[in-house]
Structure 1
Amino acid sequence: MNMHDNDNHDRDQAFDQAMRRLHAQAVEQVSPATRARLRAARHVGAEAARAPRRGFGWVLASGCAAVFALAIAMQLQPRPASTPATASFATTSTPDTGTLYEVGTAVAALDENPDLYLWLASNDDAMPATMEQ
């Protein structure tokens, strides 16, 4: 320990002793009735801290556990095999002609040909009367 540390230690001890004397003087000036009330309040507070708390603690804990279990279960589930969009369309035969066509090709043909949409836009009679206002 050098000289500087020793001076700080002596000052800290002197300060600590002075504060203890001031505290002792303050305690002597408090009336016995006030000290008794403070002691009773301290005991009530200590017992309230020891009392078991009832309420939403268990509900909150079990809810969090359920959410985590669900998240883990969702992560562990196997992912479905991805299929191309055209594979979901079936090849269908028409009952009257017996010809085969693929539904995906028919839908793609409508997307490529804008004539249908131009016809719909120019045909004002196709709109219901309730829409006209």
Structure 2
Amino acid sequence: MPTSPHEDFDQSLRQLQQRAEGALSPATLSRLRQARQQASAAHAAGSPWRRRGWWLATACSAVLAVTVAVRFNTTAPPVLPASTAAISGDDAADDTLLFDESPELYLWLGSDGALAME
């Protein structure tokens, strides 16, 4: 016995379906089942989700390949002309001395944000 309106509705639809199936001949039911099976088999084989899965796998493989190529790229940095290298060589030595002479910079970098904003 149904106890809620939803169960009552479901029960009436089940009875209606049983009466409709009883009115069909067994040959018609067999043809309908075969047509449904063929349609579901054809749909599953060429499903758009299946095709999208291949595209997604290809895209993920491409992203992974690019990531690996960038990570293991071992090309040397470009070589500067001799005149530019001589000028920048002196500046590099001055920069390292600047960091060696200023330990307060390292304390400032390691401190909390309130002190760093002063």
State TM-score, norm by structure 1: 0.38
Structure richer in helix, relative to its length: 2
* Structure ranking higher on relative contact order (CA contacts 8 Å, 6+ apart): 1
